[in-house]
Amino acid sequence: MPALPPHRPTAPPRPTVLLRPTALELALLCPTALELERRATPASSPLPRRRRLLGRRATGDGRRLEVGRVSEPLGGGCVDDAGPARGVVPGADALIGGGGGVTGDGAADVVVVVGGGRGGGWEDAVVVGGRGEEQDGVVVVGEGPGDRKLGKEDGCVDGVREGSVNRGVPMATERTMRALLLMSPTTTTDAGSGEKPAAHAVFFPFPAQGHVTAALHLAKLLYIRGGVRVTFVHSDRNRRRLLRSRGPAALAGAPGFCFASVPDGLPPLSGEGDDDSHDPPQVMVALLSSLEASVPHLKKLLDDAAASGAPATCVVSDIESVLRAAAEVGVPAVAFWTPSACGLMASLQCQQLIDKGFVPLKGMNATVIDWVPGMPADMRLRDFVSFIRTTDPDDAMLRRVLGLMDSVRNAASAVVLNTFDELEGEVVAAMSTVLPPIYTVGPVPLLAEQVVAGGPLELDTVVANMTKEDDGCLAWLQSKRPRSVVYANFGSIAMLTSQQMQEFAWGLASSGHEFLMVIRKDQATGARGATPEFVEETKERGYITSWCPQEAVLRHEAIGVFLTHCGWNSMLESICSGVPMLCWPFGADQQTNCRFACTEWRVGVEISSDVKRGEVETLVRDVMGGEKGMELRRRAVEWKERAAAASQPGGSSWVNLDSVVNEVFYPCKGSLRPRFAGLRPASALAP
């Protein structure tokens, strides 16, 4: 394999922007603080000043957090309205009872309460407040010898460390105080000339379920972790789907996080059924044709944002025409690649495969392609993306992929990947020589769990799943033994022939194992996916549904193996859950994902494209009960632990997310620095 260039994504970021720690991070840093009030509504909110101080409350012991809402501060004078505080983080009883529990003088940039406030005034309170005209100044009030300090960072830290609450119990260490001081999203310029507005990212993902889901996770991460204002753009069709399946709350947003939609020219949804709630191929073709028509509407949205005083500072997309449109109007573009890194590398080879005469295909699926950096030396043509499987040199899908790859190379200022260094670092390192700066921030659902739990309650109802889910399958799983159930789901796009569906179904039935099988109403061509005979035969050991909450299913201890089409979101969810896979790739990057899962990561076994029920039966039995299955499960658990480590504070993806904020949304020179000189980003403070 060719020598690879060095890869730098896990290097700690330079401290160029304030980053807010999450509730989990604060709990790790300060396990004695049992109640933490999350950050306030941004100052630009039209809500009354007093209401801005209300947000989320996380209660826990440093190991487990419960999240709820604080409705109103209790007691007279608890919140002094002298100035609009930008952040409030109370400790045990800071906003309950008493006078003077929180105070601010002028336009306080940070108000951090680390102590009590119960029972009248300062006796049990430790309060930090920054005055608007004294950017580096803080006031600490507490019981200890350092109960009143005014000055820069050292005085602040000393005061809180020496202050106490509940009659002598220390409330904060230096590390805790440094983290708390990073709460404010507001930053100053190096020249000290005042505040710089928050970055504004306009997200417009490809309007298919997997792309939208991953993009929404990233949008929440940037909003909560980096203080980035977000406008998330849906196609009209997806907006209607979300309203039908989830209701208005799915698009309600939060202060500084809003939704928009653009016309796509697709017909209205049909009736109340779910037949059109997925992305079957005929809809995908229409979607591809409609994207170009959406561009003028997106440009108008960008113009309107600029006219409103909140101009877009970045467009985040994986659509060729959108990336190019951003460049045309002078807005930097970020390519968020939602499939795998290996799939991106395989797609980048399409032009070379054409130039070398391999495409259009001439029946050489087993031909070894050994010249791609970062990829196995024994990669076969059949392991590359399905877009090369054409005999037409002017194939429309192939041309679209070539155009998208060109826009990723030349129209984007950065590339963000939904993967993690430990899983695909070699491929990412190889691509770093031909692409703009690359940042790996995956698995984004796992990273979002660490970060988004500390965000506004309004974001809890903001979801991307456009299909009604059957939660009854979770209750069914509760009665099953650990690792006893086969879970089968071929995603929201794949279409199987009636024969293929029957081979899979009867193969599962013949294995003797219990199974949970997802069969979309539009999934099988020519007939319904599950025949009445099959349903009757397997009703005692099978559960068949049209859609399910997949992340929750894969995390359930009853699941022993996942029969999957190898879509990247599904594969990442399986890896994060430590579940081995039976792989039957359908198209796009799924052949490449399958190859890596089965031979590089060794967490899966491939099922032949010409599926037969006997093969399905044998493989299910091997993975569920044989030595091969034990080895696959061991490897899957190892990758689960690595994915979790990458997503924890200080892990590779956590650090890379901070780098995205610092280097992409708040780029360096003369722009942003931490308000308190010398402080590191919050991720660097994690133990």
Active site includes 234? no
Phi, psi of 648 (to 5 degrees): -80, 160
Q: Is residue 176 part of a domain?
A: yes
Residue 569: partners with Cβ closer than 8 Å, 6 or more residues away: 210, 213, 214, 338
| Averaged pLDDT score across all residues of the chain | 72
Instruction: Tell me the sheet residues that pair with 415.
Output: 335, 438
pLDDT tens-digit profile of 278-297? 555 566 667 777 788 899 99
Task: Specify whether 422 is located in the same domain as 276.
Answer: yes
The span from the CA of 59 to the CA of 50, in Å, is 22
Distance CA 564, CA 212 (A): 20
Identify whether residues 423 and 557 lie together within a single domain. no
DSSP calls for 25-50? HHHHH-TT--EEE-PPPPTT--S-HH
The arithmetic mean of pLDDT across residues 481-494, rounded, is 92
* Same domain, yes or no: 429 and 401: yes
Q: Are residues 599 and 657 in the same domain?
A: no
Residues 591, 611 contacting (CB under 8 angstroms): no
Asked if pLDDT for residue 112 goes beyond 80, the answer is no
Q: What DSSP assignment string belongs to 478-502?
A: HTSPTT-EEEEE-TTT--EEHHHHH
The verdict on 149 and 285 lying in the same domain is: no
User: How far is residue 498's CA from residue 50's CA, in Å, rounded to a whole number?
Assistant: 61
Tokens encoding 149: 């300090």
| Coil vs helix vs strand at 686 | coil
Q: How many CB atoms lie within 10 A of CB 487?
A: 27
pLDDT value at residue 118? 31
Q: Report residue 17 CA to chain centroid gap.
A: 21
In a domain, residue 595? The reply is yes
Same domain, 424 and 361: yes
Distances (CA, A) of 122 to 126, 146, 360, 407: 8, 14, 77, 59
User: For residues 610 and 287, what is the distance between their CA atoms, to the nearest angstrom?
Assistant: 29
Integer Cα distance of 417 and 340 in angstroms: 7
Q: What contacts 386, CB < 8 A, 6 or more positions away?
A: 587, 588, 590, 591
Angle between helices 421-431 and 627-647 (to 10 degrees): 70
129: region left, alpha or beta (phi > 0 left; psi from -120 to 50 alpha):
beta
Angstrom distance (rounded) from CA 652 to CA 647: 7
Q: Where are the alpha helices (DSSP H) in 479-626?
A: 498-511, 532-538, 550-555, 568-577, 590-595, 613-625
Q: What pLDDT was estimated at residue 366?
A: 84
Kindly report the backbone phi and psi dihedral angles of residue 560, in degrees, each rounded to the nearest multiple of 5, phi listed first: -105, -30
If asked whether residues 211 and 179 sit together in one domain, one would say no
Judge whether 680 lies within some domain: no
Let me know if 650 is exposed, middle or buried by CB neighbors in 10 A (0-12, 13-18, 19+). middle
Q: What is the pLDDT of residues 188-246, one digit of tens each?
A: 233 233 445 679 999 999 998 899 999 999 999 999 999 999 999 999 989 998 998 88
What range does the domain containing 168 cover? 23-184
pTM value surpassing 0.75: no
Would you call 184 helix, strand, or coil by DSSP? coil
User: Catalytic: which of 80, 264, 318, 589?
Assistant: 318
CATH number at residue 368: 3.40.50.2000
For residues 114 and 103, the answer to whether their CB atoms sit within 8 Å is no
Quote the pLDDT of residue 543: 95
Same domain as 337, residue 423 = yes
Q: Which amino acid is at 137?
A: G
- Is 273 found in the same domain as 387? yes
**What are the tens digits of pLDDT across the range 31-88?**
333 233 333 333 333 322 222 222 222 233 332 223 333 333 322 222 333 333 333 3
Residue 318 appears among annotated catalytic residues: yes
Which is higher by pLDDT, 415 or 63?
A: 415
Phi, psi angle pair for 409, to nearest 5°: -70, -45
Within-domain flag for 362: yes
Per the structure, the count of domains in the chain is: 3
From the candidates 7, 211, 513, 565, which is the catalytic residue? 211
The answer to whether residues 610 and 566 belong to one domain is yes
Residue 343 pLDDT: 96
427 has pLDDT over 50:
yes
Same domain, 459 and 489: no
Same domain, yes or no, for 277 and 425? yes
Residue 4 belongs to a domain:
no
And the tokens for 299? Answer: 């440009």
The answer to whether residue 604 sits within a structural domain is yes
Query: Considering the domain boundaries, does residue 65 fall inside one?
Result: yes
